Chain A
Amino acid sequence: MKLFTAASILALSLATALPTVAFAADKPVVGLVMKSLANDFFKNMLEGAEAHAKKRGDYELKAIGMQNETDFESQLNGVENFITQGVDAIVIAPADSRAMVAPLKKAMDAGITVVNFDVSLDEQAKKDAGIDLAFVGPDNRGGAKMVGEALAKALGEGGKVVILEGNPGADNAAQRKLGFEDAIAAGKLNLLDSRTAHWETEEANSVFSTMLTAHPDIQGVMAANDSMAIGVVKALDAAGRSDIKVVGFDNVSAVAPLLKDGKLLATVDQFGSQMAADAIDKALEVVAGGPKLEGWIKTNIELVTKDNVK
């Protein structure tokens, strides 16, 4: 039975991995390049895009993802395949803000409309490659500042906080850390320590427990994503410290009960499910002959607390 299930899973994933060759000739084709499909955030994004394609019905969506967030080689191959297939537009959440510039330039040279969303390409790298590319995406720094300020308001001036960072080197991790630091400066908070837990629940749990030992006077925690916030909340449960306030980022479904119980003070929703769809809309406007996109087109972000959690 087990064997059979494993085999059918394998067969299924092989089947879904096969490229869809059938093109409807009249509709424009949009190639969507995602980051890891292995997490709730991008999963919602993909589902949002698929629903959008069905609803609009006037374009063909082809989506690719990758194994994990650092596997940018498969993104590179994906972009090259889209160029070969001659898609009309490529809408991409780059895995690396520098490495993806060169293949995207190649796509633009081939006359493909490129829209960059979710994570912004590096300004300097774009300048070096001589391309000008608009960015459709959330303000990670602004979002982190927003949720950080919610924490600052709850703690008051002089509140002692620690930060749990995402992967060192990842652009959104760096932006969120900067946003937390903005909130700390604005709210006159006292930052005791800042460490990475690589976006990971178990690591956040261990690292935070140890930070709490080193600084028993911690009053607030800023976690750069909800997975890490979950690990922190669990560590606080285990230590019996209900006095410490925690904020996260992403609004994944697993934090809803924590928000309701007051174990998580706030998180940020970036509306991932709409983000890809918004970027596709922008791309189709250009494909249909609309003006070239410019600068940073900010997408909606919202603070989620006990009061507005679903």
Chain B
Amino acid sequence: MKGMSMKLVLRDAGIGIALLLLIVFFSLSTEHFLTPNNISNILTQITINLILAIGMTFVILIGGIDLSVGSMLAFCAVVAGTVLTIPDLSVFVAVGLATLAAIGTGVVCGFLNGWISAFWGLPSFIVTLGMLNIARGAALQVTDARTIYSFPQSFNAFGSQMVFGVPVVFLIALALVAVAWFVLSKTVFGRLLYGIGNNEEAVRLAGHSLMVYKVAAFTIAGALVGIAAMVYMARLNIASPIIGIGFELNAIAAVIIGGTSLSGGRGTVIGTLLGACIIGVLANGLILFGLSDFMRQMITGVVIILAVIIDKYRERITAA
């Protein structure tokens, strides 16, 4: 057990060094990268992806995938937006109910993803592809394809609140990372998720219900989508049924760059945090560097592939 966590620390350290090199590069090559304003911009920009990626880490650790998070984000947002704009509610009550509605919607969708794939033994790739369409369609249906806006002023202001130059929304994401880290590395539940990713059969033979853990992983991912939806609304002050298209791919990229294996069983949420940072630093730094949009997209692609190649080598070294 001790050796294993040591290896995990080593894996994360590698990704941390890559992030550090990027930061050093952009600090030297661009004028504005290492300024307090830009740092807090980057932190704001990675927040939503980070929250989605935390949930995605749970799902990928058990060897699954969730393609529906972008659509679910829109569905959670429009449900919460509808609640938030109910007239004559006090701000406190409206925000509280909206948060419950967002998380509730995410939990239901996530539960269905997990339950359907576990009960019928279906690949989560297909089930969540279905949910991708269901959630998007539902978001469009409940809003009649319209954007919801005019949220309470204090809610809108909350999205750009700072504490010592750090965006509050990022602090929320960081707290979620801490909770996820604790759950995954310090609880029996967490260790069993790793176990399922490594050797499903062994976990089942040990007398554990695979169903419960699989459903739990997807439900957790769904709940996090609900939280991300609230953050989106606080940050941009709208809830539209067409938001979040392609967000699942960015979340998956953060998890993979963060060193979690797509086949499950290996990886940490700290890695995911670093992966999300790498994506955010690249997106920001390359604009400051003056690179064209198309080159920027290509480089992000190269980084994803590099991360997987490096992971192959790391796997060999740490396995030895």
A: residues with CB less than 8 A from B are: 2-3, 6, 9-10, 12-13, 37-40, 43, 68, 168, 195-196, 200-202, 205-207, 209-211, 213-214, 216, 227, 230-231, 234, 237-239, 252-254, 257
Question: Which of these, A2, A9, A202, A254, contacts B149 with CB under 8 Å?
Answer: A254
How far does the alpha carbon of A207 sit from the alpha carbon of B287 in the complex, in Å? 8
* Contact code string B304-319 (vs A, CB < 8 Å = 1, else 0): 0000000000000000
Q: CA–CA, A94 to B243, complex, Å?
A: 23
Q: Is B7 an interface residue (CB 8 A)?
A: no
Q: Tell me, yes or no, whether B88 is within 8 Å of chain A by CB.
A: no
Binds A, one of B15-23, B30-38, B180-188: B30-38
Cβ of B145 and Cβ of A210 under 8 Å apart?
A: no
Which residues of chain B are within 8 angstroms of A253 by Cβ–Cβ distance? 146-147, 149
Separation of A43 and B108 alpha carbons in the complex (Å)? 28
Cβ of B241 and Cβ of A38 under 8 Å apart?
yes
Q: Is the CB of A254 within 8 A of B147?
A: yes
Known interface pairs A13-B141, A195-B293; A209-B44 also in contact (CB < 8 Å): yes
Report the nearest A residue to B244, measured CB to CB: A202
Q: Select from chain B the residue with minimum beta-carbon distance to A211.
A: B287
Residues of chain B lying within 8 A (CB to CB) of residue A210: 38, 41, 45, 283-284, 287-288
Partner of A43, one of B32, B145, B238: B145
- Taking CB atoms and an 8 Å cut-off, the chain B residues in 11-58 that contact chain A are 30, 32, 35, 37-38, 41, 44-45, 48
**In the complex the two chains form, is B32's CB within 8 Å of A201's CB?**
no
Kindly list chain A residues whose C-beta atoms are within 8 Å of the C-beta of B159.
Answer: 234, 238
Which of B116-124, B200-208, B229-237 is near enough to bind chain A?
A: B229-237
Q: Closest residue of chain B to A231, judged by CB?
A: B236
Q: List residues of chain B with CB within 8 A of the CB of A200.
A: 243, 245
Among B138, B147, B149, the residue within 8 A (CB) of A257 is B149
0 or 1 for each of B238-272: is its CB under 8 Å from A? (1 = yes): 10111101000000000000000000000000000
For the complex of A and B, 8 pairs with smallest distance between CB atoms: A238-B160, A206-B45, A254-B149, A210-B287, A43-B145, A209-B41, A213-B38, A213-B32
The closest CB in chain B to the CB of A204 belongs to B236
A216 to B31, CA, bound (A): 12
CB distance from A249 to the nearest CB of B (A): 15
User: Which chain B positions have C-beta within 8 A of A13?
Assistant: 137, 141
Interface residue tally for chain B (C-beta within 8 Å): 44
Is B219 among interface residues, defined by CB-CB distance under 8 A? no
Q: Given A196-B293, A205-B235, A227-B240, decide whether A43 and B142 contact each other with a Cβ distance below 8 A.
A: no
Q: What is the CB-to-nearest-CB distance from A273 to chain B, in angstroms, rounded to a whole number? A: 13
* Residues from chain A with Cβ under 8 Å of B136 in the complex: 38
A115 to B159, CA, bound (A): 46
Q: Is the CB of B145 within 8 A of A40?
A: yes
Cα A211 to Cα B108 with chains together (Å): 39
Tell me which of A10, A213, A252 contacts B35 (CB under 8 A): A213
CB distance from B130 to the nearest CB of A (A): 11
Q: Give the chain A neighbours of B90 by CB distance below 8 A.
A: none
Bound-complex Cα distance A21 to B103 (A): 41
Given A205-B235, A238-B44; A168-B294 close (CB under 8 Å)? yes
- Indicate if the CB atoms of A38 and B145 lie closer than 8 Å: yes
Report chain B residues within 8 Å CB of A227: 240
Inter-subunit contact A214/B146 (CB<8 Å): no
8 contacts between A and B (CB under 8 A): A39-B242, A40-B146, A196-B293, A209-B45, A210-B287, A213-B288, A237-B160, A238-B160
| Contact status B147-A252, CB under 8 Å | yes
Determine the residue in chain B with the shortest Cβ distance to A206: B45
Query: Taking the complex as formed, is B99 at the interface, i.e. its CB lies under 8 A from any CB of chain A?
Result: no
Proximity string of chain B (137-168) to chain A, C-beta cutoff 8 Å, 1 when within and 0 when not: 11011101111011000000001100000000
